[in-house]
Amino acid sequence: MTSNATSAHPATVLLGAQAAASRLPVCDHYSGVEARMKKSLQLQAEMAAEFGHCVFDVTLDCEDGAPVGQEREHARLVASLALNAAEGARVAARVHTVDHAAFANDMATIAGEAGHRLSHIMVPKVESVDDVLHAEKALLAASAGHLPLHVLIESPAAVHRAFEIAAHPRVQSISFGLMDFVSAHGGAIPSSAMGSRGQFEHPLVVRAKLEIAAACHAHGKVPSHCVVTEFSDTAAMQAAATRASAELGYTRMWSIHPGQIRPILQAFAPQQDEIALSARIIAAAAQADWAPISHDGSLHDRASYRYYWQVLERAHQTGRTLPPEVAHWFASPHA
């Protein structure tokens, strides 16, 4: 049998349309004050040099970052920072809600002037597909129709519509807005559910997280887990990120402090023995032109190959060293 390993990239063979979404960095770091936005971009460049590729997104924030009355100036600042980011940087922008007076200008300025340097636009407080359509129309008007939308779901009604929202082709990722979700219940959910521990214990909060994760996975989109506000508590951050990944099916998480980035990378990274096993199976599968194989007495085919390839992608995303038999695939444009 002649191997097609050199011509058929695993991401194309195994994942197809889901390949692009699966390669999003596992950490999305938010900052909105000018000095912190600049430091975030600098840190991104430093860690990209350390790991050999970009390991987290920087989302420049207009919703919470823009001083009241200075929304236009802040949008221009965000566009300027995106335009001047380092080559290979992954920079996004969170705009105001679609019903906010500043939304149209945010989109025209940021997407219109810097759309070619952005990885995506984040739209907060999305309630329905109509909001997605509104944002998509603004992208097209700004000649930024290539940009994907990331959306933030923050209410019980929006959670109810999560599957419809995830189905829209423009949506690449859905995030969960914990604090607004709790507040939307009018005191029916205690404030403890906004903490790093309580958000994994209250049934309504856990149900919402699971609904969003399920909707994303049903449509090949990326579920992004909410913030941990105790930013100085590294152990709490690590524990929350681990539970979000291992128990709730999230493949991405927000950071609101530079100290949270590495704990998120650590929590979302596969174990080294799983990386090694995945590399052996994928290398053998490629050698067999992706036909079924037997490995250590177990049968593997494309169903299990997809899983093991995704382990390797996650290892790459989180800065782990990959075994030589698979590392070459991550030096290609596909990676």
Residue 6 lies in a domain: no
- Identify whether residues 84 and 177 lie together within a single domain: yes
The residue ranges of the chain whose pLDDT is under 50 are 1-6, 17, 20, 334
The domain tally of the chain equals: 2
**What pLDDT was estimated at residue 160?**
98
Q: Are residues 79 and 176 in the same domain?
A: yes
DSSP string for residues in 38-74: HHHHHHHHHHHHHHSS--EEEEEESTTTSPTT-HHHH
Asked if 149 and 34 sit in the same domain, the reply is yes
Evaluate if pTM is beyond 0.85: yes
| Same domain (yes/no): 263, 141 | yes
Tell whether 194 and 252 lie within a shared domain.
yes
Residues 189 and 303 grouped into a single domain:
no
Q: Do both 291 and 152 map to the same domain?
A: no
Last residue of a domain, one of 220, 245, 268: 268
Asked, for residue 21, whether it belongs to a domain, the answer is: no
Q: Are residues 293 and 263 part of one domain?
A: no
pLDDT in tens, 135-186: 999 999 999 999 999 999 999 999 999 999 999 999 999 999 999 999 999 9
- Assess whether 320 and 181 both reside in one domain: no
184 and 154, same structural domain? yes
Interval 300-325: pLDDT, tens: 999 999 999 999 999 999 999 999 99
Examine residue 119 and state whether it is found in any structural domain, yes or no: yes
Q: Quote the Cα angle for 71-73-79, to 5°.
A: 100
Q: Domain for residue 282, yes or no?
A: yes
The confidence score (pLDDT) of residue 22 equals 57
Q: Mapped to the 3 state alphabet, what secondary structure does 255-275 carry?
A: ECCHHHHHHHHHHHCCCHHHH
Residue 49 located in a structural domain: yes
Is position 14 within any domain? no
Does 22 reside within a domain?
no
Residue 335 falls within a domain, yes or no? no
**132 plus 276 within the same structural domain:** no
Q: What CATH number is attached to the domain comprising 224?
A: 3.20.20.60
Domain extent at residue 322: 271-330
Determine the Cα–Cα distance for residues 156 and 158; give it in Å rounded to an integer: 5
Residues 58 and 73 reside in one and the same domain: yes
